[in-house]
Structure 1
Amino acid sequence: MFTGIVEELGEVTAVEKLDDASRFRLRGPVVTEGAKHGDSIAVNGVCLTVVDLGENEFTADVMAETLNRSSLGALTTGSRVNLERPMALGGRLGGHIVQGHVDGTGRIVERRVSENWEIVKISLPDGLTRYVVEKGSITVDGVSLTVVEAGRDYFTISLIPTTLALTTLGLKEPGDPVNLEVDVLAKYVERLLGHGAVPEAGEPVA
């Protein structure tokens, strides 16, 4: 479980293409401190398992399913990535509950620069619109953010200078893909309401 508070802006140092997967080596002195084989680290919002460790680096295998459903397949040597270790039991939940399970990818549509922040418009894939509401939470490339405007096929977020400087969101250009994870609470509520719907008149109660 993660919080969406990025700990470090890391870097892809090598990519090895396998038959049905890719092996990434990533540099992250902060997230590798005390890490061990089998630990989880979120990379651009995708929960990956550490399979090997080196000096300030770790290696993770990414299967084809993840490469196809996230933006990790577009990473190359030198790409910058957002890194976060799982939240420690008893730690502060600084962002919101993030699972590291990407629901889909969007693309940066436009950036509007202001004096002290930027408004970023991101496309929203079919099927995710119902989970995105104004002032609700969403994870973009592993960053916990608040939705400013929720449209039918897009949403906007407001980025402060700290987020722009310390995450990949300060580097993304229009057209670039981003990983999206909607608030898991919204999905559970939908599921519960679907099963707990009140039957219409004349409909038998199970």
Structure 2
Amino acid sequence: MFTGIVEEVGEIVDVRHDADVVVLTVRGPRVSSDAAHGDSIAVNGCCLTVVDDEAADDRFRLELVPETLKRTSLGAAAAGSKVNLERALPAGGRLGGHIVQGHVDGVATLLGRTPGERSDEVRFSLPPELSRYVVEKGSICVDGVSLTVAATDGDTFTVALIPTTLADTTLGIRAAGDTVNIEVDVVAKYVERLTVAYRHDAGEEAGNQ
């Protein structure tokens, strides 16, 4: 589990194709300082597994399978790309953002940004199948960054980025047309799943009146 509080901006230094798997080498001094084989690290919000016997030279390797390549923006990863990095939350750690699984729900496109004196408002597209989980003042994870939804109109949503987010994550350099990974609030998905039978029964009962 993650919190959506980015620890550092890393860099993809190598991309290698091995049959249907893409092997990424990522430089990230902070997150690789104690990374070991089998550890989980969120890369742009996608939970991936370290495959090095031990991280060395401030970098670590990850493997992307077809499912990851299909469902996230990491399929377009290239050497030199900047990525948000976060290690898994340790037991007893602070949940500074919100509950983030690192299971990307979809890919959105940055539509535009309105710069302020020190902050920005940024608007993204919202995949239709995810719109019901996104509410004003709710939580959303964008490229691994825990954010609060400032506004939504069904097919887009807007977030307000504070100076720290602009400086310490890749969202400060993203431009219109860039794609980002989106993870909606997992609590909303479970509530929907748990109440679907009640909503169905209520609909039938209303129809019989």
User: Residue in 1 aligned with 2:101?
Assistant: 99
Q: In structure 2, do the counterparts of structure 1 residues 22 and 116 end up closer, same or farther at CA, with 3 Å as the change threshold?
A: same
Q: Distance in 2 between matches of 1:145 and 1:41?
A: 19
**Runs of 5+ consecutive residues of structure 1 not aligned to the other structure:** none
Counterpart of 1:71? 73
Say if 2:33 is the partner of 1:28. no
Q: Structure 1 residues 195, 202: closer, same or farther in 2, change over 3 A?
A: closer
Give the 3 Å change call, closer, same or farther, for CA 202–160 of structure 1 in structure 2.
closer
Match of 1:129, SS?
A: helix
Q: Structure 2 CA distance, aligned partners of 1:178 and 1:151?
A: 19
Quote the Cα distance in structure 1 between the aligned partners of 2:70 and 2:154.
24
The DSSP-based 3-state class of the residue aligned with 1:116 is coil
Pick the structure with more helix per residue: 2
Aligned residue in 2 for 1:48: 48
Scaled by the length of structure 2, the TM-score of the pair is 0.94
Q: What is the alpha-carbon distance in structure 2 between the residues aligned to residue 3 and residue 64 of structure 1?
A: 26
Q: Distance in 2 between matches of 1:40 and 1:48?
A: 6
Q: Deviations over 1:139-192 (max 9, x none)?
A: 000000000001111000000111011101011110000000000000000001
> Which residue identity lines up with residue 138 of structure 2 in the other structure?
G
- Aligned AA (2:49): T
* Structure 2 unpaired stretches of 5+: none
Within-5 A mapping of 1:145-160: 145-160=147-162
Q: Runs of 4+ in structure 1 displaced over 6 angstroms? A: none
* Aligned-pair identity (%): 58
Q: Who is 2:144 aligned against? A: 142
2:205 equivalent in structure 1: 201
Question: For residues 65 and 32 of structure 2, what CA distance do their matches in structure 1 show?
Answer: 22
The verdict on how the C-alpha distance between 1:31 and 1:202 changes in structure 2, with shifts beyond 3 A counting, is: closer
Task: Number of aligned residue pairs: give it.
Answer: 204
Query: Match for residue 175 of structure 1?
Result: 177
Distance 2:136 2:39 in 1: 34
- Shift of residue 55 of structure 1? 1.4
Alpha-carbon distance change, 56 to 109 in structure 1, aligned in 2, over 3 angstroms: same
Q: What SS is found at the alignment partner of 1:196?
A: helix
Q: How does 1:156-167 map to 2 (within 5 A)?
A: 156-167=158-169
CA distance in 1, matches of 2:50, 2:79: 18
Q: RMSD value over aligned CA atoms?
A: 1.4
Q: 1:57 aligns with which of 51, 56, 59?
A: 59
Structure 1 stretch displaced more, 99-108 or 10-19: 10-19
Aligned to 1:51, the other structure's residue is in SS state coil
Out of 107, 121, 124, which is 2:126 matched to?
124
